A and B are shown apart, each in its own frame.
Chain A
Amino acid sequence: DGGITQSPKYLFRKEGQNVTLSCEQNLNHDAMYWYRQDPGQGLRLIYYSQIVNDFQKGDIAEGYSVSREKKESFPLTVTSAQKNPTAFYLCASTPFTGNANYGYTFGSGTRLTVV
């Protein structure tokens, strides 16, 4: 079945550590996105990528980094510069962005907790 796989489902980070969240899709989608969701709140865009080897900052990119070396993969690194990283992280993708008919397909999320 086609879809987006996020791993791990739960992740614990110590203060000062960098951690990387995985996002893989087999939908052949061009664009991929990372969102952060805090309890009871909406989605905030961290980074997005419309093509391989290119990505753009979203609204809350500080303390995060990404790469897009392959079309199917868009990993997110939460660096030690992110002071409040505890949140639920969602990855999404969509086909060619020239067509607005398409919504986003979401992964099942990674819950990151600082310990």
Chain B
Amino acid sequence: AQSVAQPEDQVNVAEGNPLTVKCTYSVSGNPYLFWYVQYPNRGLQFLLKYITGDNLVKGSYGFEAEFNKSQTSFHLKKPSALVSDSALYFCAVRDIGSSGSARQLTFGSGTQLTVLP
């Protein structure tokens, strides 16, 4: 079975400060990890993904995420937060099942990021 945990329902950060949104995962095989962002009354937008290779993944809007296999984490980061980054962020994971097909994406519960001016 695969699972994702986002331990913080809410993260507040001042504009210009660095931000981190936490995500930990559990899979039986190699993880394929994703971050999505959702603005109010909109669908989820893809930010970045980790498949293999460098542990630091760069994505859209200046976001990056660090894959840490030993800690089974994939935290989302940005060096300098903007008020416009305020949104709901979802971490997701999938792996390959025993049949050789990819499992469905499993989503975390979401973290509401608020960047204060």
Binding site for B on A (CB under 8 A): 4, 6, 33, 40-43, 45, 48, 88, 90, 92, 94, 97-109, 111
Contacts and interface: CB of A to CB of B under 8 A. Distances in A.
Given A103-B92, A107-B43, A41 B102 contact: no
Contacts, number: 58
Contact of B107 (A4, A42, A94, A102): A42
B105 A104 contact: yes
Residue among B94, B104, B110 with most chain A CB within 10 A: B104
Which among B43, B90, B96 has the highest number of chain A CB atoms within 10 Å? Answer: B43
B100 interface: yes
Interface stretch (B16-24, B44-52, B62-70, B74-82): B44-52
B45 A42 contact: no
B36 to A, nearest CB: 8
Contacts of B95: 100
7 contacts: A42-B107, A43-B90, A106-B43, A106-B44, A107-B43, A109-B42, A111-B41
A43 B94 CA distance: 15
Contacts of B103: 100
B96 A100 contact: yes
A27 to B, nearest CB: 13
Contacts of B46: 103, 105
A111 B24 CA distance: 30
Contacts of A6: 43
B43 A41 contact: no
B84 to A, nearest CB: 19
Given A42-B108, A43-B107, A103-B105, A98 B100 contact: yes
Contacts of A98: 100-102
Given A42-B110, A103-B34, A103-B49, A108 B94 contact: no
